[in-house]
A and B are shown apart, each in its own frame.
Chain A
């Protein structure tokens, strides 16, 4: 252990699996070749609520290649777990349109799909209710909101303060249902053998999926193995387990053969989660100089009738700005819709669209620059808990961004900058994301040849995790990058938390650091690597359990310039710029990709994304990529990301905050604020479609 290497952390290392991905060698879930494989084609419900009273499989079974058809009458029985979405084919009840009610298994994909169209299903249809509204009679307060936060928080007397405030903003903002749409649809290859169940699955967490699936089949987690070396994006959609993986395992169990199941893009709109639509009312009370006296942020959201997912929409409002009086609430209604789930920055993304739009409205009402308004309301400590921030550099982000973007000479008057047919405007919004970290295990091994292997069941869904963990390990071991191999994406590896809540690098990186430190000590003790190699294991449960005396959050500021066509109302982003305060940036190259990727999704959220509900049939109408628009290359001009120096000793051994989600937070508000600056029209319901800008 005498090698002294250049530090790897902080350098622009290329993705370690980059070559595999550009040559097509990287294998994703559906691409693992297994002998004797057969194909599954699910049959979705065509009604939104009711009961399946008969399933006629006779015709489908006569089709060539068909091996079996499963439905609730003949499917293997599953154990009950907390999430009823996973009780696939266990009951005749239909809770939403698109719910899986049968599955055809056949020798080829073509045969399975053809036969799936021939399964006859008779329903007893019941009237469905799929419409979210703020005055729905069944609204209720959830016990907790995701991930485990109080539903309502109140400080002071916000109602009295609002009534007395010289300047107020009171507005309702809406965000639509949005679908994650990772480019790789959810897919599973399931195989049962003497050892148990093996799942090649497109998942954000091998350990957590294993732990979720095992109890359904009444087996020990050790009898389930989840393998996911490469995952084609997730953005939350592959975080919580969804019905398709269970259906694949059921089909494989029943047929005794390995089964491949890929969710179609259309089916992804019902069975793989989505962002709940929100209706948010924001009320701000302030002095004429902009100092806030009260903030009230109330959110209304939906979940399904079979599982509660309560998104934390108003939680960023608990920490953003100083105000002595504050209330944040969440109300939910259970509708005949699919269960919503995580989508990149659940809570923060829609919640900050509302809050940061309202702050822009307040700036106008006070005649203040929107950056100055935010600086005036910068809190000294976390307003909710009173804890000091471990670091908070929102103001630095705003100032640095203003300088880079060219904000200083901005004329605040809306609707006055013309360039040809375009009205030009600029806008700013703040962003934030909490610091999460979970306990993990890891092993580190020294081989006699000078190679080190680190093992942890982490996931790389495109974040660059594999690369960053390699950098972390190399530095702790004090060896060059090329001598470190990091094995991830397999539940047979030491248990790890999933890729979610921007917590991956913090959680896994802590375990990797501790494992490599322990290995270094062990090698020092032994005076070198023994001929058989040496392995050490660590568990960060204890370290992770220590409560923090600090409020820990990342912050950022996004700036947008838009052009709005005066004749057509079409709004397009001309440039986007973000500055972030996220602790130490471990790999500037992959970090920048995370920021610009998040901002690109935020641009898409602002202008394009909307899952349109069909009230008559009760599901999302535009369920493919031709109708659900995500930003394409031509929609995305210059996007720049920067970060300010931030040294924070209260986070983790790397000093890093999560970066996967903060890029999307704030971007939609920055774009909406820019559209207002361009046109004078305040769009409070996303997306900013052209019909909303034609006056």
Chain B
């Protein structure tokens, strides 16, 4: 950037964003969050904006299989990473077992936190299978990937649900975990 360049002009970068197995060549404003890129540029509105500050979990997606809050992730940093959103959880027309369990257990009301809950649950179950402990895991104990309710509640506490569907969310996840 040379000296007479307008400092207010957006800095942009060309990159390839890979979402749900599809590559999107795009030019991004370096200020752009992954959440806004998905929602405003790619019309992938499954990820929700609840706070834009990493406080609610509604925007949770998976980056290389790990859950992240996409509102705190700059798109420009994601060249060559694989992103999975709620739109990519199903296997073709067959819903992911968590999606089916959420409907059956009525683990959603308004549905606005739901995509974040689902992506978070997918990431969380993978963490448990990898043996990652949580604060409620007994000291020195190993993680039982079937997860009891206290483990699920603890590990899902980054995803707020104002409708108060927690009891059903935990039941739905527990069914899939076992």
Contact = CB atoms under 8 A, between A and B. Distances in A.
Interface of A: 14-15, 17-19, 21-28, 30-31, 33, 62-65, 108-111, 114, 181-185, 230-233, 235, 262, 264-265, 461-464, 589-590, 592-594, 596-601, 604, 624-626, 630-639
B167 A109 contact: no
A625 B110 CA distance: 18
A232 B111 contact: yes
B115 A24 contact: yes
Contact of B95 (A19, A110, A182, A461): A19
A374 B66 CA distance: 53
Given A21-B111, A183-B161, A593-B168, 9 more contacts: A23-B87, A108-B40, A182-B112, A183-B113, A462-B111, A597-B164, A624-B51, A631-B164, A633-B154
A108 B55 CA distance: 24
Interface in B121-147: none
A64 B6 contact: yes
A231 B110 contact: yes
B interface secondary structure, majority:
loop
A464 B110 CA distance: 8
A110 B111 contact: no
A598 B109 CA distance: 12
Contact of A626 (B44, B53, B108, B154): B53
A interface secondary structure, majority:
loop
A264 B71 CA distance: 13
Contacts of A265: 50-53, 55-56
Contact of B40 (A28, A65, A109, A639): A109
A638 B167 contact: yes
Contacts, number: 191
Interface of B: 6, 8-10, 29, 31-32, 36, 39-40, 43-53, 55-56, 58, 85-87, 89-90, 95, 99, 102-104, 106, 108-115, 118, 152-154, 156-170
Contact of B169 (A31, A463, A592, A633): A633
A233 B108 contact: no
A18 B110 CA distance: 10
A22 B162 contact: no
B85 A183 contact: no
Contacts of A14: 103-104, 106
B106 A597 contact: no
A181 B162 CA distance: 7
A21 B103 CA distance: 9
A631 B153 CA distance: 12
Nearest to B104: A14
B85 A24 contact: yes
Contacts of B29: 108, 110
Contact of B153 (A21, A182, A597, A633): A633
Contacts of A601: 162, 164
13 contacts: A15-B103, A18-B108, A21-B108, A22-B95, A22-B114, A25-B87, A62-B8, A64-B8, A114-B31, A184-B50, A232-B111, A625-B50, A626-B55
